Amino acid sequence: MDFDSYKDAMYNEMNAWYKTYPTDISELTKIIDQKISSDQSGYEIRGHIYDVAADMMEVKLFPHCPFYFEMASGRNRNIWGMEGLGGYLKNSKAYQDLRHGYLSDAETMWDKGMFIINDFVDNDHHAMGIDVILEKGFKGIMEEALSLLDNKVLSDEQKHWLNTVIKGCQCAKALGEKFSNQAEAFLKSELCNTELSKKFFERIKNTASRVPWNAPSTFYEAINSLIFAREMFNSLDGVGICTYGRLDKVLLPYYLQDIETGAITQEEAYDLCATLISLTDARWDYSQNQVETSTTICLGGLDSSGNVIDNPLTRLIFQAIVDCNTLNPKINIRVTDQHSQGFYDAAVHVSRNTRSSVSFLNDEVIVPAMVNGGLEKTHALNYVGGGCQEVVAEGTQVSSRACWYLNLSRVLTAVLGQNSSKTYQTLDSSSAHPIELKDLKTFDELYREVISMLTAVSVKFSEHLASYQQHWKKVNPAPLYSSTLLSCLKSATDMSAGGAKYTSTTFATGAFGTLVDSLLGIKHIVFDEKRLSLSEFVEVLNSNFENHTLLQKYLISEIPYFGDDSEESNEMAARLMKDIELLQKECRNFADAQYHPTFYSYHTNIYLGMDTPATADGRLAGRPVSRSVSPSDYKGNNRRNPATDIHALKALDYKGFPGAAIQYMTLPIANEQSDTILSAVLQTFVENGGSILEYQFNDVEILKKAQENPENFPELSVRVCGFSAKFTALDKTVQQEVIERLSQVA
């Protein structure tokens, strides 16, 4: 394959260039500063950004990369968007004041360990409207904007917005021309020193000024349109577009057509796919701590008519993923009960043979869940994973999910009066008030207190968040990105003003396992076995099990727990899950849409755990809480294994979770974990109604050695929670958590 012949050169050229990041853009921002008058809207400021980018921003081609995309927007190397030129608005005083206001409110509102909150809007985790880009090009979008301006009665705000979209499209045209011109110049320079670089520059010279200004007409043009558009939104719109989308769906017609006409060979198509797969690793610097590339691709699943996607391009990309064995992009594979055994085996093979994080998303559950969340089925069928796996309907939905993480188990500790003063102060006494533990006579009474506290916390959180989110359009609109989303253009409304067909918000819930297990612990110790009164038990927890290690061990190893597939734990989990789903329906976002319940953790479970007191499942204070909706990792594996985990799913209803729910499955590295076995596990996961599954296998002994002598393991990678990283570059706390988690299954 040709890719092998230029891969090293591409990596080296990119490394040399990105080392110089961030580039100096002070000349550009100075001009924007000058253009801004005091009463200008966010749309107009964004328009200045597009103008300045079109006039002055440099672009960069690499001799041994066939694609054109890199814009010297002044971002840092390891930031995918929202900085430099695109971050001009986000870094402005108006935005930062709101952000700081929101964060400091949140700090006074909630006791530590209840939430991890990053911002008041989720600027990341977006998915662009790929179909629009491929069908119309930016020229088509501009023409539509122009015709709306001509023919529709519009408010001033709408006019400003449409004019900004037009500027954005013109900017796309100008940038394309810059790439063409640069290619032409490079062709005559010493940079063009191999046959391949000549071929690449020639092609770019002839393509970039046309596409994506015009709609692409070849496989090469279509791939490059996706890369270019994503880069443009990330560099100039102040948002993170995380996903390249459903490659085997959107690129298939171009692939088939080019193969048939002989415009491309299968090998050439493979090379382009392998280059795309390798692009992220080549651009990022993984030696830095916790590098988050937020880059995903999506494969498989059903198309908008419900037909199975598993085609020659799917398999070609599978092959490229395995061959490239990169750390990124994250791979999201959509599976259904209609996919063949061969597809499952191949998909699992990918998961076992790449360092990237690979997730399996179950269409059979996620699509109906999204429909339950109010999406039309055709839109739901076009979902993709966002930054890691957070699902979002491509081209129709704007979702804010991965900015706020709620620790479910911390709600129980608050009910029990463990460090809960701020939270009670925040919730007015009508919705939740501190309880006398001795008044709780039955387990059900306690359970109801937990649910009403959780409801009160959720509703209060959503109201407070919405009060800030309503300012989104003023401080960080993204007109060009919005113009690719259904409804925004027609209604001349930015996505940040709720213009997209669906605007969804959620806090991601985690520590489900810790909460289920803690409830079971209290039920057994206090109400069933009557070993201690509830107050006495809470005292033990507050002492962090001091002098009660036997009780702690008893809780860990003798009480039913989530994932052991016992009737008792399954019932508790099912009841709690239903209640969590229902109570979140009382929450509404700034666009007056119902919350979309979801379970994610990322690695917040470690940090939330640090501020969580000892819990009634035997977990010590400060230790990580459980991840997302996965069973606890610290309960050992005496009674738990992939079979119990997956069978326990039968009791649970994930169709009420339109934001989906991720379950991690940690497996020891063992030769027995063959493709056939893991394929059977995955198929059964789908059959039993799971939402998202990620396999994580690592050799714990090697990780321990790497922790001791990091210098000997510079390349060792590990799947953390929805992302892969160089192990030795991870924060020490995360390293330790990964090792402890894996030790449980070794």
Partner 1 sequence: MASFSSETARLFDIQRYSVGDGPGIRTTVFFKGCSLRCSWCHNPEALSHKIQVMNKEGFDKKVGFDITSYDLMSTLLKDISLYKKSGGGVTFSGGEPMLQAAFIRKTLIGLKEENINTAIDTAGNVPFSSYESILDWVDLFLFDLKILSPQKHHLYTGASNQLILSNLENLLKHRKKVEIRMPIVKGLNDSIDDIDNTISYLSKLLEFGEINRIKVLPYHSLGQFKYAELGFKSPNHEAPDADILAEYEHRISHLFTKNRDKKVELSTIN
Residue 643 is a binding residue for partner 1 (CB under 8 A): yes
Alpha-carbon separation of residue 450 from 51, 180, 361, 446 (angstroms): 53, 61, 31, 6
Q: Name the segment binding partner 1 (CB under 8 A); options: 79-87, 294-302, 651-659, 680-688.
A: 680-688
Residue 182 is a binding residue for partner 1 (CB under 8 A): no
Number of residues that bind partner 1 (CB under 8 A): 24
Alpha-carbon separation of residue 131 from 226, 475, 537 (angstroms): 10, 28, 57
Q: Name the segment binding partner 1 (CB under 8 A); options: 71-79, 186-194, 644-652, 727-735.
A: 644-652
Prior bond of 212 cis (ω within 30°): yes
Residue 386 is a binding residue for partner 1 (CB under 8 A): no
Q: Which is nearer to partner 1, 104 or 549 (CB)?
A: 549
Contacts of 418 (CB under 8 A, 6+ apart): 538, 541, 542, 613
Which of 50, 48, 69, 65 lies closest to 211 in space, CA to CA? 69
Q: Which is nearer to partner 1, 140 or 689 (CB)?
A: 689
Give Dmax over CA atoms of the chain in angstroms.
85
Site string for partner 1, 589-628 (x = CB under 8 A): ----------------------------------------
d(CA 487, CA 375): 14
Residue 442 is a binding residue for partner 1 (CB under 8 A): no
Taking the complex as a whole, the smallest distance from the CB of residue 424 to partner 1 amounts, in Å, to 38
Taking the complex as a whole, the smallest distance from the CB of residue 635 to partner 1 amounts, in Å, to 14
d(CA 142, CA 492): 12
Classify 607 as helix, strand or coil: helix
Contacts to partner 1 from residues 34-93, by CB under 8 A: none
Residue 680 is a binding residue for partner 1 (CB under 8 A): yes
Residue 16 is a binding residue for partner 1 (CB under 8 A): no
Taking the complex as a whole, the smallest distance from the CB of residue 639 to partner 1 amounts, in Å, to 9
Q: Name the segment binding partner 1 (CB under 8 A); options: 30-38, 367-375, 492-500, 678-686.
A: 678-686
Residue 649 is a binding residue for partner 1 (CB under 8 A): no
Token pair, residue 661, equals 């729910």
> Any idea what DSSP says for residue 299?
E
Contacts to partner 1 from residues 523-582, by CB under 8 A: 550, 553-554, 557-558, 565
d(CA 456, CA 453): 5
Instruction: Give the number of other Cβ atoms within 10 Å of residue 522's Cβ.
Output: 28
Q: Which is nearer to partner 1, 274 or 540 (CB)?
A: 540
> Any idea what DSSP says for residue 599?
B
Using an 8 Å Cβ cutoff, are 666 and 738 in contact? no
Q: What amino acid is encoded at 589 in this protein? A: N
Taking the complex as a whole, the smallest distance from the CB of residue 528 to partner 1 amounts, in Å, to 17
Q: Which is nearer to partner 1, 41 or 566 (CB)?
A: 566
Residue 362 is a binding residue for partner 1 (CB under 8 A): no
Site string for partner 1, 685-704 (x = CB under 8 A): --xx----------------
d(CA 721, CA 330): 11
> Any idea what DSSP says for residue 727?
G
Prior bond of 22 cis (ω within 30°): yes
| Chain residues that interact with partner 1, rule: CB under 8 A | 550, 553-554, 557-558, 565, 641-644, 646-647, 670, 672-673, 676-677, 679-681, 683-684, 687-688
